[in-house]
Structure 1
């Protein structure tokens, strides 16, 4: 007995058990209720996607309030304008949900309405934005939590932030709904504690409303005489723009429609109402409470922590209640980081389907999560945490620029949509006016934030986004070149003429058999078949075609899409069987529907190896004249992975090269 093999098998078994325990069990694709189980009802969608918007109240209003300096009398107007802006942008995105019900948000709107160049800019900005969503949320969470920790322990803030990022990566690889369900109680504690805090701030300080109005009158009178109306407007506009972080996350619902429960449009719009109302109330009333209480910054504490301490100080167990309030705020920021892990990989997968990103980012794991995208988003956020040392101020500046770049392109795209539909939609002027107002607000915030904060970190956001856009064009150019070569194969081989009798016999199990791995019916697969025929003439009597209909983010939208995918794959296999029979072979096919090509192919080929003992597995692999360092990243190594696994199991596997000039 081979004890080494036994030990390796045992270790492999233990390793798989640990992986399953940490990341969860694979999903059963044949489950008729799979989509229903994985989709989100409005409340859970509000938790998973709306938390990003609501959590921005932890840092957006604070940044705006600090930007007022000594002119805090303007905070009331700032709160009012903030609430109005939330509703305008939210309403605009509700219209996007109606017209683009399959999700994708800003990337899809820009691509369809403004062209692919605007689309790749919007998509790249969104990706950087979602990395920053994760980073800002985690950094703000740690800031809030460390508000009640002695200063000597603050050196551990970045370490804790990185550990939280790793935790979120694990949770999201397990599944979106699972991770949101775990965090739902945190969300509800935040909502309840902050409603209590804000209402307490208003009703226990009603006696200060009149003095506050008097301070407003005195402040504006003084500033008119010193800096003038224009100066006041510029000061207000600057604070309003620097508080742009308050609106981040509003687009998350339109991006994540794919995970909504049917009817998706109604679920998405209801989620948007929940998010807009909660964010407008929280942010607007925070400004009011800052003014009523007369909040002053305290070293090492957020303004919300100072507010909670001041309001709850006279309550029984006031310190504990204040701690719970701010702890829930920090914990909600962790929930908000979910949005980056939910929507970021989805934007990435949409771009991968359009060949702006490596195609592997459209793949789903056995748990039906976008594992590659989740890991990349998490790794990028950890890198940013280390680079900025977890500074929320630096991250919010970087964050707001890309958010409003995407917002502006989305509003511009929707404005063009309603102009084009002016003859069909009798209410086009009303809808257009909303998007034009949204465009003006978003573009204004974008320009002012970029100019104001360019030297403080804004340049880095623009640089990173530009690098991502440049990489997208390089990737797209490569795929277009490969597609051109594949098209030449299709033109040459898809109408391949045959002569001689058609072999309609069933494959004999004792005869030499070629097992050919194929995807869709294409010149690539036909070339591989002809290579088998010419390289091994008169060797094989049977040919069995094996295909895996891959469930990726593009097809994982509902039961109908999965059925259509399986039907299309079956039709392609029947074409291969027909061609092989016309070439004189006894032929058949095997089809699997799965997310993991390698594992599925291994299982099918092992079964076929037992059924046809004299069999050899064949697959094709793209080969380039000059192998570049990025080819392995852009093109999967599936053929080599399958070859290694099958040869270890005793099945001879041959990889046939397909030459492409790219």
Structure 2
């Protein structure tokens, strides 16, 4: 398989080209070749009024001499704010004291205590996972599902009575085949797409953008439900052992989600250290149950204990069997996690990811098949108030502390299984945001080099779902399989197309394997959507196309924004380039060269005091045409202001606007709009005097007209609003 990875890298398909390493620089994509060429041509025509280095201050801040400590105004304490990394570059250092108000500093200190101190961008290379850490982090969802997957299958079968429970073994065998097929399919996906993004990228590159977005929508819903279902199942495991805690199910679940969020906000390495032990402890506990359980069964010659008689509530038909099969298939949720998180592994990333996935699938098959067979041998049936794994633990360990240990590890793994979603959901949003299908804020890495916005979004959505369904696992399970198997189906179908396009050695064998995975996944998807439609699956069926529509609208917005902001070659005299965004002829917003900018500075003046005189002085110092505007409520006040203006010296042109209805912001905004309409080629710079108050409580005593004016003028093109602050210390 090494040759497969080398071939995948050599092919250099679009996925590999677009799947760059995840770093903080992803927020700042480089210019394309056309824009770089346009930038050069614009620079050739640039005529600045003064040389760029002709400045009245040393921009290097005196690198080679000692500087005075920052003042109290900066609240940064006596430290060096900048260090020299390169001769022409300053590097900001972490402040010793925190800026902002007292309340803001308290919040920041609390966040630092919960999340930890910030990490340097260079540390992103060290925030990678080795295989022994990646296995529990990425498999917690997959392995924990064996705690409720077999029970979900048996809960459907028992509706046809105790006699129908005998179908559990053949259905489990079919599910094992499905697990192996999908697992091997994803092992092929990893070296073919070594930069992550999983189903979203595979389906998008091979089946089209809509298929990729549908896969992403399915995965996003799956991740949100993973958190809700895992926490609900974990709380149920706790209440099964301690029934007195049942009334606190909902607040306990919300608290767990908050703890998971805080742990993941601390970064990949810290989260790994937190969640490694519970996963391995759960695997050890289940293996102990299997060893002891099968030893007890061997003592009676592996004779199955007859299950208790359960009356049939439904007839045994094909639809019920398919429902049981799709319910048991929830044990596979999380199998795609590794393919989404390939960049989070240490080098060689795809090789380590593929090995980890192999371990995960092998452990899943062993635990799932072993539990289903042991439950059959012990004659257990689902019953309300206690999970079937809890029943199995009581039968296997009738005495001693082992049952308590089993329940404790089960509760821990179920509660922490959501960590897989916390690892993959923000990364999926990163890839979507990079392609313009999700808000760009999801490209941002937080203080601890985690995708903080994506983590908060996942925690918020999962909390809402958990509250709406009251933390009941059985109410959430019907929503679970549709989204994830939609992603499975599209991903494996995309790999079939991929192998047809890239016909390397052994491509037919790989194509057949992916085709089998796509077929079986599609069967589960269709069964789950139809059989569980009325039970709640309709929510996912409706949500997926709505999410795809939302992603397309977001992409359309960013495409429009890119066209508006992209660099274009400067037009010939009197002409507008064909590729330029639609703008009115002679619009000020189309100017890219300083010699093309025409100014008019406008200063609104309410009264002649220190603030307004400072704004007028600043405007006059710019050396551009300047106009003062006064809004008067009546003619008498307008005459009185003109007299004061003349007493000042009438140094600038004054225009008075009478507003008999006493409105100020509206008439001023309309007047500026009229000026802009008369000369759209002018850039109107509105200079507003602003009183800056030291104490926040004093702000209630002022109208804050400058903010309202800024908001009113924000939508007007060709208008720049700037504030001239006058600080009041009292």
TM-score (norm 2): 0.64
Gaps of 5+ in 1: 498-522, 542-620, 628-638, 651-662
CA displacement, residues 346-375 of structure 1 (integer Å, 9 cap, x when unaligned) = 111111111111111111112211111111
Q: Which residue of the other structure, out of 98, 103, 117, is the alignment partner of 1:25?
A: 117
Q: Which residue of the other structure, out of 249, 268, 271, is the alignment partner of 1:176?
A: 268
- For 1:406, the equivalent position in structure 2 comes to 487
Contact 2:591 / 2:597 at 8 angstroms: preserved in 1? Answer: no
Structure 1 residue 101 displacement after superposition: 0.6
- For 1:239, the equivalent position in structure 2 comes to 324
- For 2:522, the equivalent position in structure 1 comes to 443
Equivalences for residues 86-485 of structure 1 within 5 A: 86-150=179-243, 153-207=245-299, 211-212=303-304, 236-313=321-398, 315=399, 317=400, 320-421=401-502, 424-485=503-564
The SS at the match of 1:68 is: helix
Equivalences for residues 479-628 of structure 1 within 5 A: 479-487=558-566, 490-493=567-570, 527=592
The SS at the match of 1:40 is: coil
Contact 1:208 / 1:292 at 8 angstroms: preserved in 2? Answer: no
Structure 1 residue 495 displacement after superposition: 9.6
Aligned residues: 507
Contact 1:134 / 1:340 at 8 angstroms: preserved in 2? Answer: yes
Structure 1 residue 394 displacement after superposition: 2.0
Contact 2:228 / 2:465 at 8 angstroms: preserved in 1? Answer: yes
Distance 1:13 1:389, change over 3 A: closer
Contact 1:104 / 1:256 at 8 angstroms: preserved in 2? Answer: yes
Contact 1:84 / 1:280 at 8 angstroms: preserved in 2? Answer: no
Distance 1:362 1:292, change over 3 A: same
Structure 1 residue 527 displacement after superposition: 3.4
- For 1:40, the equivalent position in structure 2 comes to 129
| Superposition CA RMSD, Å | 3.6
Structure 1 residue 312 displacement after superposition: 0.2
Structure 1 residue 208 displacement after superposition: 5.0
Q: Distance in 2 between matches of 1:530 and 1:140?
A: 67
Structure 1 residue 172 displacement after superposition: 1.2
Give 1 or 2 for the bigger CA radius of gyration. Answer: 2
Gaps of 5+ in 2: 1-70, 78-98, 575-587, 602-618, 624-710
Distance 1:530 1:267, change over 3 A: farther
CA displacement, residues 408-445 of structure 1 (integer Å, 9 cap, x when unaligned) = 00010001111223xx3231221111111111111111
Distance 1:626 1:418, change over 3 A: farther
Distance 1:182 1:491, change over 3 A: same
Structure 1 residue 14 displacement after superposition: 3.8
CA displacement, residues 209-239 of structure 1 (integer Å, 9 cap, x when unaligned) = 55449x89xx9xxx9xxx9xxx776654432
The SS at the match of 2:532 is: helix
Q: Distance in 2 between matches of 1:480 and 1:425?
A: 36
Contact 1:78 / 1:287 at 8 angstroms: preserved in 2? Answer: no
Quick check: 1:65 aligned with 2:157? no
Structure 1 residue 155 displacement after superposition: 2.1
Q: Distance in 2 between matches of 1:524 and 1:295?
A: 74
Structure 1 residue 168 displacement after superposition: 1.1
Q: Distance in 1 between matches of 2:133 and 2:726?
A: 46
The SS at the match of 2:592 is: helix
Distance 1:18 1:453, change over 3 A: same
Distance 1:9 1:91, change over 3 A: same
CA displacement, residues 511-530 of structure 1 (integer Å, 9 cap, x when unaligned) = xxxxxxxxxxxx99983967
Q: Distance in 2 between matches of 1:245 and 1:277?
A: 17
Q: Which residue of the other structure, out of 49, 57, 65, is the alignment partner of 2:138?
A: 49
Structure 1 residue 324 displacement after superposition: 1.4
Distance 1:625 1:82, change over 3 A: same
Structure 1 residue 535 displacement after superposition: 6.7
CA displacement, residues 59-87 of structure 1 (integer Å, 9 cap, x when unaligned) = 11111122222211222223322222211
TM-score (norm 1): 0.70
